[in-house]
Amino acid sequence: MGERIYLDWNATAPLRPEARAAMIAALDQVGNPSSVHNEGRAARRLIEEARERLAALVGAEPRNVVFTSGGTEANTMALTPALETPERKSGFDRLMVSAVEHASVRAGGGFRSHHVEEIPVTTEGLTDLQALERRLAELQQQGARFPLVSIMAANNETGVVQPVEAAAALVHAGGGLLHVDAVQVVGRIPFDINRSGADLVTISAHKLGGPQGVGALIKRSADLHLAEPLLRGGGQERGARAGTENVAGIAGFGAAAAAAGATLAADGERMRSLRDRLEAALANGPTVVFGRDAERLPNTSLFAAPGLRAETALINLDLEGFAVSSGSACSSGKVAASHVLAAMGVPPDLGSGAIRVSIGPATRENEIDLFLKAWMKLLAALSKRQSGLAA
């Protein structure tokens, strides 16, 4: 087998050199960041420098960045009835999530299942804002206290960018708060927590070239209080998340965030060009690209060919040297039907064959061309098989 080609950046991005260097330097640093001696203070400085870098990337205040073990923990931490603001101490009694959310959001966090409901999406995979507005009005009429709404910034499978700003305006008018899972967006396209209107934002290190196992929950306002932390103990992270911080991982996260921010515009332009090159070639055959008419991340394409199963495609492409995905990579290695495509109304026979290609700043033009050659080879074999069955 020749050189392998990695086209699964939405699952995890390769570690950036800047992140690797920061982590190695941090591993040489002795000291618990909660200790008051010189070594402890040095470790603390690494964490606070990273906190400042993450805050700068999304336009937040450093004190509002809470480090976690990853995106799933940050999502679970955010989705709790025990959110408090100066005006509201009674908590939240309803969680509303879009139909295309990540599994960690669909699980409902600290809400009981009968207090969690789904917001439908359009055929392009966009959150149905009219449905959201109607439901918020109904909840107010029913005397529901405060709804918490969770809508991702961009879908991990289709790359469709969600109308977060418009949703935030509706949610706030309805007396609620908005949580945004932005793990696929931050570091790929500009995202500003203040402009978005989101009250809570989740990001993850390994999606933007940092290490796996580190994430962050970011608050827009310091007045928003997590009254019941998931982890209780020594009071780290200003009491929001107990446990000794992962100093090396956090240092790598901060370095990756700074590196991503420095080349954001140029990287986005280049990835969009490569994605468009891919999809222009796919348009010459029977392949269907999902969410094509919506605004999408510049690096993501989800597509399928009628009659081609995802399992078959993944095995063949892997043998040809390509790392791609059938959608979300957070399902213990399973190839399962996509709830995202089902919510978009895609027929099961077509949706079951969906393949996701997600690229990054290091992806080369010839890698796209080689993938297209392998994909066309698959389609030719499928066509020959179908012709044989019809004969």
121: domain CATH number?
A: 3.40.640.10
Return the ∠ at Cα 259 (arms to 360 and 322), rounded to 5°: 20
Helix/strand/coil (H, E, C) string of 31-61?
A: CCCCCCCHHHHHHHHHHHHHHHHHHHHHCCC
Residues 6 or more apart whose CB falls under 8 angstroms from that of 204 comprise 70, 71, 74, 183, 214, 215, 216
Residue 85 has a pLDDT of: 85
Strands 355-358 and 300-304 turn out to be antiparallel
Residue 214 has a pLDDT of: 98
Residues 60 and 206 both lie in one domain: yes
Residues 173 and 152 both lie in one domain: yes
Pairwise CA distance, residues 357 & 278, whole Å: 9
Of 220, 242, 261, the position where a domain reaches its end is 261
* Range(s) of the domain holding residue 355: 5-14+264-390
Residues 193 and 320 both lie in one domain: no
Residues 71 and 176 both lie in one domain: yes
Residues 341 and 235 both lie in one domain: no
Residues 95 and 189 both lie in one domain: yes
- The CATH number covering residue 308 comes to 3.90.1150.10
Residues 175 and 26 both lie in one domain: yes
Residue 93 has a pLDDT of: 84
Number of domains composing the chain: 2
Residue 150 has a pLDDT of: 98
Encode the chain (391 residues) as per-residue pLDDT tens digits.
579 999 999 999 999 999 999 999 999 999 999 999 999 999 999 999 999 999 999 999 999 999 999 999 999 999 999 888 887 777 788 999 999 999 999 999 889 999 999 999 999 999 999 999 999 999 888 876 679 999 999 999 999 999 999 999 999 999 899 999 999 999 999 999 999 999 999 999 999 999 999 999 999 999 998 888 878 888 888 878 889 899 999 999 999 999 999 999 999 999 999 999 999 999 988 999 999 999 999 999 999 999 999 999 999 999 999 999 986 555 545 566 799 999 999 999 999 999 999 999 999 999 999 999 999 999 998 877 766 655 4
Residues 332 and 229 both lie in one domain: no
Tell me the CB-side half-sphere exposure of residue 27, using CA atoms within 13 A. 8
Residue 206 has a pLDDT of: 98
Chain centroid to Cα 388, Å, comes to 42
Asked if 275 is an active-site residue, the reply is no
Of 131, 330, 370, 379, the active-site residue reads: 330
Pairwise CA distance, residues 256 & 6, whole Å: 19
Residues 215 and 252 both lie in one domain: yes
Pairwise CA distance, residues 192 & 118, whole Å: 26
Residues 257 and 288 both lie in one domain: no
Residues 91 and 219 both lie in one domain: yes
Residue 129 has a pLDDT of: 98
Residue 324's closest CA among 102, 13, 9?
9
Of 223, 240, 261, the position where a domain reaches its end is 261
Residues 276 and 238 both lie in one domain: no
Residue 103 has a pLDDT of: 94
Of 261, 284, 317, the position where a domain reaches its end is 261
